[in-house]
């Protein structure tokens, strides 16, 4: 599998050379780059940069500080992997049908379960997870207080004993668009993961957690990547008459219903009634068809 490794400055140079101003400026700002070296590209690097610049959908994964990975839509059969370690970028095209499971296991350092994992769902007071200023004896006293449930005691002790850190986060990104998205976060255990309920992340008091096996979760990650990325390509036409015509044909159904209802009492129409109907149909077709020719603003959630 062919790979391309670049420093942050070389990556920014190639993006600039390719004409992707927003992307290269983001990289330059992120690493505090003042001057960029000359862009030294190749056919493979041109393909990589073009895919990043024109990709209509991307998913970003964050494991820890200064370490991340992104999957960019490339085709229905593969995605472009962007693996970041510090200021080093490595790129390759990853087929959906092979190697995706190992990719996620390697990036998140996930260990396969040795025995079946029983699914658990718990709700924990947030301060029990995020507060780390107490000594061990103080923690034990706090956990025995009346307001702490047995489920909370068990889960919090596991988190403290294993030294689990900040959650891993996945985010769907929509290039060049103002969109809504939802992040999904999880904490990796030994042979299992704790999923953070997105509905409770913003809650001021409780945090919802669900425990599932690594194999099940990795399968879920692969399925999400395929469903979100594979329908997209590295380049979506900004204007497509074919796309507009297909959408317009679908939109004719409600128009036909309205016209049929109006025709039910056509005997009482005025002399220019047909003209008004014709004008309505023409304007409806134009305002429905033209916007549909433009590149769609799709919303996907993971």
Average pLDDT over residues 22-39: 88
Q: What is the pLDDT of residue 289?
A: 57
Q: Which two tokens stand for residue 268?
A: 């009482």
pLDDT band at 10 (very low <50, low <70, confident <90, very high): very high
What is the Cα–Cα distance from 114 to 106, expressed in whole angstroms? 18
What is the Cα–Cα distance from 152 to 166, expressed in whole angstroms? 18
Q: What is the pLDDT of residue 297?
A: 42
In this structure, the number of other CB atoms found within 10 A of the CB of residue 217 comes to 19
- Is the pTM of the predicted complex or chain greater than 0.85? no
Specify whether the CB–CB gap between 53 and 20 falls below 8 A.
Answer: yes
Q: What is the pLDDT of residue 103?
A: 94
Q: For 205, list phi and psi in degrees, rounded to 5.
A: -130, -50
Which pLDDT tens digit goes with each residue over 205-243?
787 888 888 888 899 889 888 887 876 554 445 555 665
What is the Cα–Cα distance from 261 to 258, expressed in whole angstroms? 5
Average pLDDT over residues 237-254: 63
C-alpha neighbours within 13 Å on the C-beta side of residue 38? 1
Q: Is pLDDT above 80 for 8?
A: yes
pLDDT band at 298 (very low <50, low <70, confident <90, very high): very low
Q: Which two tokens stand for residue 290?
A: 């033209």
Q: Residue with structure tokens 């380049």?
A: 235
List the end-to-end C-alpha distance of the chain, in Å, as a whole number.
Answer: 28
Query: Any long-range contacts for 150-158 (C-beta under 8 Å, 24+ apart)?
Result: 151/122, 151/123, 151/124, 152/122, 152/124, 152/125, 152/128, 155/122, 155/124, 155/209, 156/124, 156/128, 156/129, 158/189
Specify whether the CB–CB gap between 76 and 231 falls below 8 A.
Answer: yes
Query: Any long-range contacts for 38-43 (C-beta under 8 Å, 24+ apart)?
Result: 38/13, 39/10, 39/13, 39/14, 40/10, 40/13, 41/14, 41/17
């Amino acid at each position: 599998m062919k790979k391309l490794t670049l420093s942050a400055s070389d990556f920014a140079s190639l993006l600039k050379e390719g004409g992707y101003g927003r992307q290269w400026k983001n990289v330059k700002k992120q690493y505090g780059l003042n001057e960029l070296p000359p862009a030294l590209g190749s056919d493979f690097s041109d393909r990589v940069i073009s895919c990043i610049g024109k990709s209509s959908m991307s998913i970003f994964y964050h494991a820890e500080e200064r370490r991340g990975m992104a999957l960019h839509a490339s085709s229905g059969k593969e995605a472009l992997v962007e693996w970041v370690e510090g200021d080093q970028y490595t790129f390759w095209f990853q087929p959906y049908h092979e190697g995706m499971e190992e990719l996620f296991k390697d990036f998140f350092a996930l260990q396969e379960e040795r025995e079946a994992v029983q699914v658990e769902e718990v709700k924990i007071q947030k301060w029990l997870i995020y507060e780390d200023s107490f000594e061990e004896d103080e923690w034990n006293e706090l956990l025995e207080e009346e307001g702490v449930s047995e489920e909370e005691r068990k889960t919090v002790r596991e988190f403290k004993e294993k030294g689990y850190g900040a959650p891993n986060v996945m985010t769907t990104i929509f290039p060049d668009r103002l969109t809504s998205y939802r992040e999904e976060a999880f904490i990796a255990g030994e042979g299992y993961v704790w999923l953070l309920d997105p509905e409770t992340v913003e809650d001021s008091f409780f945090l919802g957690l669900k425990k599932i096996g690594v194999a099940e979760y990795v399968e879920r990650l692969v399925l999400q990547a395929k469903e979100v990325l594979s329908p997209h390509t590295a380049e979506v036409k900004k204007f497509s008459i074919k796309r507009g015509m297909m959408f317009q044909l679908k939109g004719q159904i409600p128009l036909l219903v309205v016209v049929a209802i109006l025709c039910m009492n056509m005997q009482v129409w005025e002399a220019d009634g047909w003209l008004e109907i014709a004008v309505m149909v023409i304007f409806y077709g134009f305002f429905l068809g033209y916007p549909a020719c433009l590149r769609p603003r799709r919303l996907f959630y993971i």
